[in-house]
Amino acid sequence: MKKLLLIMLVCGTVLVPQFALAEAAPEAVSSTQNNQQATLIDYEIIIPEMRFTEFFDDFDGLIPGLQLVNQGAEGWDTWSGGGGGGEDPFVSGTYSYSSPNSVVIASGNDLVHLYGSLTEGSWSTSFQAYIPDGQSGYFNMMYGFTPNPFDWAMEIYFDAGGSGRLNADTQINFSWTADTWQSVEVIVDLDQDLAQFTLDGTVLHQWTYSLGDGTLRLDANDFFGAASTDEMYFDNYSVEEIVEPSSEPFFSEFIEGSSYNKALEIYNGTGADIDLSAYSLSSCSNGCDTEGEWDYPDNVTFAAGTIVAAGDVYVVYHQDADPIIAAEGDQTFTYLSNGDDVFAITLAGATASSYTIIDIIGEMGDDPGSGWEVAGVADGTKDHTLVRKASVTSGNGGDWAMSAGTDADDAEWIVYDQDTFDYLGSHPHSMGPTLLSVEFEPMYPAPSEDVSVTAFAFDDLPGLTAENVTSDDGGNTWDFDAMMDNGDSTYSATMGGQAEGLTVDFYVLLTDSDGNTTQSDLYSVTWNETVEITSIYDIQYVPNPDSSDASPLVDQEVNISGIVTAEFWGGSDNRNIYVQDAEAPWSGIVVFEYGGWDNFDINSPEGIVHSVAEGDSVTITGTVIEYYNKTEITDVTSFDIITHGSLGVNPLEVTCAELTDNAEAYEGLLVGISDCSVDNPDLGYGEWSVTDGTGSARLDDNWDYYYWPDSLQILAEVVGVLDYTYGDFKIQPRLARDVVEEGVTRIQRVQQVLYSDLIEAGEDAASDMSYMYGDTVTLEGIVTMPTGLSYAGAGIKFIYEDEHGGPWSAILSYDTDSSAFPVLYEGDKVQATGYIYEYSTYPANMTELFITQGIDIIDVGLDQPVVDTVATGDLRWPTKAEQWGNVMVRVADVTVIDSDLPYGEWSVDDGSGSVNIDDDSDSIAVWQEENGRPPAGTFIQSIRGWVYHHYGSYVDSTAYKLEPLYMSDIEFGAGPPNIQDVGRAPCVPGPADDVVVSCEISDNSGVASAEIAYSVDGDNESATMSNTGGTTWEGTIPATGS
């Protein structure tokens, strides 16, 4: 912290304390001190960016004319506790520094702001004060507020008539001005045991803080109406921490972006220029080989004289990074972090085991996988940009856990999406508030029903406030209501119930301590007429199903409310949705739409949609019918999604006997049978059955769940909705996860996700992750991509596929240790045990098995699974492409669209949309290096390869790529020859010189002839070329003689 020398003459005694001032200092200030004169000289100013707001209140979100504490104002209480009594002051609109409100302290009022028993740090408390002529005011600071006895540290009296008194170590007299706003500030430096009082920018007194009582603590600020004339208005109340700047540089930004977009930014917040040659960057690759020791000490060094000015940054970046990064870069380095590589600023001269860490990103231990968690974001150091909060003023000294934090509030970093470069090149930043989401419930309130609003938000600095801004007249007027800070990054407010038919528009407004604002989208809520909800039990229950199973409400219109247990996507032409309102018999039903629910207008919080997801809470109005003895709701006139996917329904555990004896009670319900086995693998039409020893239950295939039953196979569980068709009750599993085998887990159960989640994945880049993430499983499959063929850095990878092939059937395993797996060939049948993991390269997520035990090769030389032919357009977006991840597929009759894409890629199209072809295989990469990529316009009969969900973008549909293994996987058709390496000799011919032109020409069907086209003085000529061996052709342009 910058220091100043302050000399105070007090009754002939010289005191020489040190102190840091917060405001610009006057040249020389006189104060009356027990009628003796003292002069304050030689101030220095603390740098402004080292102040961080901990609390701020301008009272503008409150209602004038009502009492402050009684309105629930955060951060305030009365002396006796609780609002509404005589101690609770009123919010006033009479005077305000920042319109429209202030708080007035009148006689008898007693308002307290608690600091929380601070014992360290330097703290500024400031506010604007207005006292009408003839009136007075008072406040104090307290060493202790609770428990009793109360302990005063200093008192300020603004006496009527313009005189004032400060009582602390001694009494100081001063003057103040009525009928005007004046700034008041008290600084308490607990670390140096100093205090300072400033009025309107003039420092009036500084003293040893503990002299008044000997206590070094700051507990409370009390505003008290001590006199009958007291009428003090105060506004813009602020508590700030004054932080000492760092003595060392530290990391201010970390970029782990796509491709080579990687950078580390180092900030000099020391207040003076520094020479970076005194420091270095030390690192480990994929975790440290030895815990606590650097793999690469002093990995990045800085030349002597590498000066970084005070407040400036120095950027180390990859030499092939985006031009935006390069423009801010200062020094290149190739091997920056891929997410799981720890980097630290160390003192120069670090060795593997002897070093001093100034700041660190990551931990010096085992490989964390893809990356370390930051601010509650999994793999935050992978595929993200990290920006240090402005409130952080020094490095973490090697304590990464503290620095990374557990959530957005306690972390030192703000986590941004991949390839965010906006903040590179300077520090610190006034980020402004970040609003994550706004939720409100109920979304369709009944008349007079309250609506709760919750905002999820954070800021890089303390002091964030949130307001719920409402209008009930179509936006002509707006009310600003303060939201309660719940202390967990959530802010809440309640909108009082309204009359039927009234609509309230509202949005959430965030304001940080610097005055930056962020505003949410505009939302609307309408208080609807109360709708009578019919329980599904009342629709389904019949006392004697054997005599009559028809609903008692058949042909009646009903309103139901429940949870979607089976979404329509992928089954029965998208016509059926299953809804359940209790986990009990008679509580489920199917809702039918002949035209398909994907064509039906469904009301949702986002507006009209054409999708509904498992777990959604819905309200539906329709008519009860009996369709061949199955109770349904059809002719739907209203369909509202109340909330999304947060509500689940557990399957109701039943026995086979219960489904035989009382199936009608379970019709439409989500049910499950445990500890069963296959008793008939083929009942025809995709149906099969299981037994649990009490009877037999039939299963059907309305949805694809990728299970091929074998007789007597033991199953841990089967789950599905109970359907009734063609005279039989049958369980309809919804997804591969609903049929759980004992022992080896089929790959499809790991890979398949709901279609509704695939819709979301294109937007959130997360919903396509495996539902079994983190689970330990044993998988079995046939190797389709062998080890050692495709790029794996210094590691090793292979792909294996369920023998049945098809969607969701393959998975990749990778290890950083190239010796971790045995040599595996195509056709090997393997079993592997490990945990499910997601390899994320934003926006792509690729599900992998991280193998933790030895691989068992249980057979060799097997045929490959059947390879499906898919449209190129099916490999562009998660809804169609995700099912083919890692699976061997074929595209047919395609044309090369672009042969010069980055990273060795080229694109093909069969007319349904292009897909990129990549050279992940060493075989393909070598061929392309030698022959070039097929030119645009080349026709290719077919390309066989595996689908790689890796980097790219959903915006241009390049996140999925086709990876052929060998050139034999590419069958060329008729197309233009490929011409390369054109040359001529001599390069600068004379008039009598012939010119020999040579080139390499390749074509999948052979080259019949080649000629050179040239012109002489505008006349077009040609010369025949001949093949001189292999793909080399030559021809001669004769000398022109002039």
Cβ atoms of 659 and 695 closer than 8 Å: yes
H helix or E strand, kind and range, residue 955: none
CA–CA distances in Å: residue 185 to residues 78, 135, 140, 773, 951: 22, 21, 12, 54, 53
On whether both 967 and 982 belong to a single domain, the answer is no
Check which CATH number belongs to the domain holding 311 and give it: 2.60.40
User: What is the average per-residue pLDDT within 30-49?
Assistant: 32
**Percent of the chain clearing pLDDT 70 (strictly above):** 94
**Distance in angstroms (rounded) separating the CA atoms of residues 813 and 818:** 12
Domain holding 789, by residue range, is 773-976
The string of pLDDT tens digits covering residues 398-450 is 999 999 999 888 899 999 988 899 899 999 886 678 888 888 888 778 899 99
Q: Is the dihedral of CA 348, 350, 354, 357 positive or negative?
A: positive
**Distance in angstroms (rounded) separating the CA atoms of residues 127 and 235:** 6
Domain presence at residue 907: yes
Domain presence at residue 837: yes
On whether both 840 and 916 belong to a single domain, the answer is yes
Q: Is the dihedral of CA 21, 25, 27, 32 positive or negative?
A: negative
Residue 22 has pLDDT above 70, yes or no: no
Domain presence at residue 810: yes
Place of tokens 């159960």: 749
On whether both 145 and 216 belong to a single domain, the answer is yes
Residue 45 has pLDDT above 60, yes or no: no
pLDDT at residue 532, rounded to an integer: 87
Eight-state DSSP code of residue 885: B
pLDDT at residue 494, rounded to an integer: 95
Domain presence at residue 51: yes
Range scoring the smallest mean pLDDT among 26-40, 461-475, 533-547: 26-40
The string of pLDDT tens digits covering residues 451-460 is 999 998 887 6
On whether both 922 and 1000 belong to a single domain, the answer is no
pLDDT at residue 3, rounded to an integer: 26
**Distance in angstroms (rounded) separating the CA atoms of residues 932 and 935:** 8
On whether both 438 and 412 belong to a single domain, the answer is no
Residue 146 has pLDDT above 50, yes or no: yes
Range scoring the smallest mean pLDDT among 147-151, 271-275, 614-618: 147-151
On whether both 667 and 793 belong to a single domain, the answer is no
Bridge partners of residue 167, in order along the sequence: 155, 171
- Phi–psi pair at 750, nearest 5 degrees: -75, -40
pLDDT at residue 213, rounded to an integer: 61
Antiparallel, parallel or unpaired: β 588-592 and 630-643: parallel
User: What is the average per-residue pLDDT within 530-538?
Assistant: 90
pLDDT at residue 20, rounded to an integer: 31
Total domains in the fold of the chain:
7
Place of tokens 């202030």: 102
Last residue of a domain, one of 388, 417, 446: 417
The string of pLDDT tens digits covering residues 585-633 is 999 999 999 999 999 999 988 889 999 999 999 999 999 999 999 999 9
On whether both 44 and 185 belong to a single domain, the answer is yes
User: What is the average per-residue pLDDT within 455-473?
Assistant: 86
pLDDT at residue 973, rounded to an integer: 78
Residue 842 has pLDDT above 80, yes or no: no
User: What is the average per-residue pLDDT within 900-923?
Assistant: 94
Residue 6 has pLDDT above 90, yes or no: no
The string of pLDDT tens digits covering residues 770-819 is 999 889 999 999 999 999 999 998 899 999 999 999 999 999 999 988 99
Check which CATH number belongs to the domain holding 554 and give it: 2.40.50.200
Cβ atoms of 350 and 219 closer than 8 Å: no
On whether both 572 and 717 belong to a single domain, the answer is no
Return the number of other C-beta atoms located less than 10 Å from residue 360's C-beta: 22
pLDDT at residue 29, rounded to an integer: 31
On whether both 797 and 879 belong to a single domain, the answer is yes
pLDDT band (50, 70, 90) for residue 647: low
pLDDT at residue 279, rounded to an integer: 97
**Distance in angstroms (rounded) separating the CA atoms of residues 795 and 788:** 9
Name the more confident of 46 and 139.
139
pLDDT at residue 429, rounded to an integer: 81
Which of 526-530, 576-580, 817-821 is the most confident on average?
Answer: 576-580
Check which CATH number belongs to the domain holding 489 and give it: 2.60.40.10
**Distance in angstroms (rounded) separating the CA atoms of residues 806 and 708:** 13
User: What is the average per-residue pLDDT within 269-280?
Assistant: 93
Bridge partners of residue 985, in order along the sequence: 996
Return the number of other C-beta atoms located less than 10 Å from residue 497's C-beta: 14
What would you report as the CA-atom Rg of the chain, rounded to the nearest whole angstrom? 37
pLDDT band (50, 70, 90) for residue 36: very low
H helix or E strand, kind and range, residue 1032: strand 1032-1037
The string of pLDDT tens digits covering residues 472-503 is 998 899 999 999 988 778 899 999 999 988 99
pLDDT band (50, 70, 90) for residue 125: very high
User: What is the average per-residue pLDDT within 975-991?
Assistant: 84
User: Measuring CA to CA, which residue among 365, 386, 353, 361 is closest to residue 281?
Assistant: 361
Q: Is the dihedral of CA 640, 643, 645, 647 positive or negative?
A: negative
Last residue of a domain, one of 611, 643, 675: 643
On whether both 362 and 270 belong to a single domain, the answer is yes
Residue 719 has pLDDT above 80, yes or no: yes
Bridge partners of residue 526, in order along the sequence: 503
**Distance in angstroms (rounded) separating the CA atoms of residues 828 and 825:** 6
Cβ atoms of 973 and 939 closer than 8 Å: yes
The string of pLDDT tens digits covering residues 998-1026 is 998 877 667 889 999 999 888 899 999 99
What predicted TM-score, i.e. pTM, was given to this entire model?
0.57
Would you list the DSSP string of 368-436? -SS---BTTBTTTTSSEEEEE-TT--S--TT-HHHHH-SSTTT-SEEEEETT--TTTT--------EEE
The string of pLDDT tens digits covering residues 687-716 is 999 999 999 999 999 999 999 999 999 999
Domain presence at residue 124: yes
| Token digits of residue 554 | 């058949």
Check which CATH number belongs to the domain holding 163 and give it: 2.60.120.560
pLDDT at residue 536, rounded to an integer: 97
The string of pLDDT tens digits covering residues 59-95 is 988 999 999 999 988 889 999 999 999 999 999 999 9
Domain presence at residue 995: yes
On whether both 216 and 114 belong to a single domain, the answer is yes
On whether both 969 and 1002 belong to a single domain, the answer is no
Domain presence at residue 422: no
Check which CATH number belongs to the domain holding 718 and give it: 2.40.50.140
Domain presence at residue 531: no
| b/e sequence 936-964, b meaning 16+ C-beta within 10 Å | eebbbebbbbbbbbbbbebeebbbbbbbb
**Distance in angstroms (rounded) separating the CA atoms of residues 1025 and 701:** 64
Residue 149 has pLDDT above 70, yes or no: no
Place of tokens 């989401």: 437
Last residue of a domain, one of 526, 544, 563: 526
**Percent of the chain clearing pLDDT 90 (strictly above):** 70
| Token digits of residue 924 | 């393909």
Averaged pLDDT of the chain = 89
